[in-house]
Amino acid sequence: MKISILGAGSWGLALGKLLHKNGHGIVFWTPSAKEAELLAKEREYKDKLPGVELPAEFKYLTDMAKATENADMIILAVPSQFMEGTAKLLGECNTPIPIVVNATKGIAENSLKTMSEVILANVKWLSEDEVATLSGPTHAEEVARGVYSAIVAASRNEVCAKIIQEAFSNKTLRVYTSQDITGVELCGSVKNIIAIAGGIVDGLESGVGDNTKAALITRGQAEICRLGEALGANPRTFSGLAGIGDLIVTCMSHHSRNRFVGEQIGKGKTLDDVLANMKMVAEGVPTAHSTYELAKKLNVEMPIVNQVYEVLFKQKNPRDAIEALMSRELKAE
């Protein structure tokens, strides 16, 4: 197939390299002419995916219409805060694409929509049966290097999910299908907030340990399940790759940007200082705000998410946040 990838960050490039290995033709779109020139010349993105050589056959374009022309599949792999603008540009293209894949994890801050909902709202020629989400425990750094991994392709249309499954699967990436796109997207989004909390635990010097981390992951999973239930997701999704699998790897891995943000805050740095020194986006930061608002709107109890929100945006001391969680009213699990 001819596949267009919108976004040339670490995840987009990792997916492009995998798909190229599978025999597909890859074209990237980036709004930055400087980025396109750098990638074409260097064949490596040292700031975002260091040490990974990119195929010479990759094309990098800044014109959305040209980048998506005659494409069989489009993958959106831009940060969540840029999804709406990117989707609007895609919606202005005249040639409808059979399948559009969301590869971004997050919840829109203003509309509180999932990423597939943002795409559908702005790409008018696209139907629910033509949109899918790809999510699971897959760090770009490892997928790009061929580390054995597994992921979920979710679409309400089973045929659409199976086409993606076939396109992406190879000896190092095993793709499972799901029709619970809502659950898969919620898992991929909210786990980043729990990972920030996990990083805070890693950054604190005393009073925390493996017990703390295990409790955090488990109770964080309970919060994700409650939100998913309120939005009609399938409960089984939360015990699968997109759920507990992605939550574990994001809370534990040194590759995790969200865990890194939390760790630096746990060590006493401010959020502004941490973000100012990062070259890539930590999706859990804006998602903490949108999920906090979504839970409030739906009246869903999410105490860990609430405390992360307080730490990030209200400058609450992390130890005070932990004390608040530990001193909540006692209850049955």
Q: Return the active site residues.
A: 191
Nearest to 199 by CA among 251, 244, 138, 246: 251
Dist CA 134 CA 329 (whole Å): 38
Residue whose tokens read 């239930």: 229
Dist CA 80 CA 57 (whole Å): 28
Are the C-beta atoms of residues 22 and 167 closer than 8 Å to each other?
Answer: yes
Nearest to 196 by CA among 126, 121, 250: 250
Q: How many residues comprise the chain?
A: 333
Tell me how many helices (H) and strands (E) the chain has: 15, 8
For residue 282, what is the enclosing H or E element? none
Dist CA 266 CA 311 (whole Å): 10
Q: Which residue type sits at 246?
A: D
Dist CA 66 CA 291 (whole Å): 36
- CA 199 → CA 234, 256, 284, distances in Å? 28, 9, 12
- CA 165 → CA 21, 30, 171, 280, distances in Å? 15, 25, 13, 28
